[in-house]
Amino acid sequence: MSATWKLTVEYAGTRYSGWQKQKNALTVAGELERAIEKSFGPVVELGGAGRTDAGVHALAQVAHLRLERDMAEDVSTDEVLRSINAHLPADVNVLSFERAADRFHARHHAIARSYVYQIARRRTAFAKRYVWWVDAELDVDRMRTAMHACVGEHDFALFCDGRADPEDTRVRIDRAEVGESGDLVLLRFEASHFVWRMVRRLVGTLEQVGRGALSVDAFTRLLDAPPTDGTSPTAAWTAPASGLFLERVRYEGDPILGALRPAFPIDPRRG
């Protein structure tokens, strides 16, 4: 069996139909695989730690790679990175490339994933692709109170797309926090896994709490509600993909998350 490699990749997801390789669609994994094959030959397996949705970004996606034939022993990491990145579009960049255990699997061996969502308090000409501009006053303290209720295990069937596997809708969130930076409101969630569109539905519902259209109690009831039969109401508010970033994938032995920081800062209004 050829060597297994661990890659850490950043990308702006605006142009892509998500991470996962698809026929007749531009995807991050598809572009990455093409770049690797141009540099080092056929790819046997390339798998990511999370299948980010169309338009979602990543600060540090992790992938495992197995090649049909091993690289030459005298090829340095810097040479590998330069070669792969030279064949990638400007909105995808490999940050690191390292040897991993033979059976390393980016998704199965991950113990936690964290996402950060950026809500802009003002219209911005430069960061439109990386934020959700909400043209309303948001009560961050109300949002923080509601987010505290997210921590722990819940059945998030009401917060996911209907394509999610019902057996996987129970998720334990280990960390949920909200912060402010310049003209941004930042929301962060960390859990072992997330179901389809769960984070965007949570953010969309929390935005309703922040603007006063939904009470904290109503939000909590949605968290505690049993799964629907497909005809009952769900948490139907979905934040756009533009503001969502896969922040980090954590493995055994990795340090815990640091302070909440913006992925793409926006300074307060000048004038």
How many angstroms separate the CA atoms of 150 and 138, rounded? 19
Tokens representing 234 are 């769900």
Angle at alpha carbon of residue 40, lines to 35 and 44, rounded to 5°: 85
How many angstroms separate the CA atoms of 51 and 221, rounded? 29
Selecting among 53, 135, 139, 254, the annotated active-site residue is: 53
Which of 223, 203, 221, 199 shows the shortest CA–CA distance to 143?
A: 203
- At 35, give phi and psi (nearest 5°): -65, -40
Q: For residue 3, count other CB atoms closer than 10 A to its CB.
A: 13
How many angstroms separate the CA atoms of 37 and 138, rounded? 47
Is-catalytic flag, 168?
Answer: no
CB 186 within 8 A of CB 144: no
Residue 116 CA: distances (Å) to CA of 127, 149, 155: 15, 18, 21
* Positions marked catalytic: 53
